[in-house]
Amino acid sequence: MSVVIRDASVTDPPEFSGVSSDEVVAEGGPSVTLECTAVGEPMPNVTWTRVYDNESDSGVLATGNQFVLESYRNNSGTYRCTAYNGIGTAPNRTFKVDVNFKPENVKLLVNDSIICEGEVIGITCSADGKPAVHTYQLYENGKPIVDGNSSAGVWIRKDLKGGDLSYSCVANNTVGTTEKTVNVTVKGRVYE
C-alpha cells in the first residue's frame, strides 16, 4: 500500500509571541516604541492603527513588529496592532499611550501694569500641563517671594515702592517647569 501526499504545506493562523505592555506613560520628549511580534504560517503581516473614541480604527499608520510613536501630547490615545496571514481570524492587541508634558501656555496676569505707590496689585498665573500643574512659584525681580508658592497661582502684592518690577511665575509639574514674566511700573506718590 502506498500513500500519496499531494500538498505538504502546513498553515497556522497568526498568534502573538511577544507584545509591549498594554499601557505606556511617556514623559514628553523621547519616542515610544510599541511592539507586537506574531508568528504563523505563512508569516503574518502586522499593521498598526489608531483607535478613535467611537471605537473605529484609522487607516494603517505603520507595518511591522514595531511602531515608533513620538511623545507628542496629541499622540495620547489607543493604538491597535493586528496580525493577518489569511488563515483564521486576525488577532489584535490594543495599547493605551498616555503622554505627559511640562506646563505650557503659561498665562501671567496682573490687574494693572502701572500702579501708584501704596496701591495693591493682584497677580494670577495659570498653565496647562499633564499631569496638572501642582505648584506655581512667584518671583519679584528674580527673587522668590515669601509665601510665593501657591497651588492656586493667585497672589496679592501690597506696600510696593516706586520703580519698575519684574514678576515671574514658574509653573511646576512632575515633568518639568515653565516660566513667564510680566513687568509692572510703580509710580511714586505725589504729595501736595
Express each pLDDT in 35-76 by its tens digit: 999 999 999 999 999 999 999 999 999 999 999 999 888 899
Inside any domain, residue 159: yes
Residues 33 and 97 in one domain: yes
Average pLDDT, the chain: 89
Vertex 188, ends 182 and 192: CA angle to 5°? 155
Residues 120 and 78 in one domain: no
Inside any domain, residue 106: no
Is the pLDDT confidence value at 27 over 60? yes
pTM, two decimal places: 0.71
Is the pLDDT confidence value at 135 over 90? yes
Name the residue range of residue 129's domain. 111-187
Q: Which of 101, 128, 158 is the last residue of a domain?
A: 101
Q: Beta partners for 170? A: 137, 179
Q: Which of 73, 101, 129 is the last residue of a domain?
A: 101
Residue 146, CA distances (Å) to 46, 80, 155, 158, 189 in order: 58, 50, 11, 13, 25
Which DSSP state fits 43?
P
More confident residue, 19 or 79: 79
Is the pLDDT confidence value at 6 over 90? no
Q: In what order do the strands lie in the sheet with 135-140?
A: 114-116, 177-187, 163-172, 135-140, 143-150
How far from chain centre, in Å, is Cα 8? 52
Inside any domain, residue 79: yes
Give pLDDT, residue 45: 96
> In the chain, how many domains are there?
2
Residues 48 and 20 in one domain: yes
Inside any domain, residue 117: yes
Query: Could you give the CA distance from residue 147 to residue 123 in angstroms, rounded to a whole number?
Result: 13
Is the pLDDT confidence value at 5 over 60? no
Give pLDDT, residue 89: 92
Residues 121 and 91 in one domain: no
Label residue 124 by pLDDT band (50, 70, 90).
very high
Over the stretch 150-166, which tens digit does the pLDDT of each residue have?
888 899 988 888 889 99
Inside any domain, residue 91: yes
Residues 83 and 16 in one domain: yes
CATH of the domain at 58: 2.60.40.10
Is the pLDDT confidence value at 108 over 80? yes
Query: Could you give the CA distance from residue 37 to residue 14 in angstroms, rounded to a whole number?
Result: 10
Give pLDDT, residue 191: 61
Q: What is the CA radius of gyration of the chain?
A: 29
Is the pLDDT confidence value at 109 over 70? yes
Q: Which of 68, 101, 134 is the last residue of a domain?
A: 101
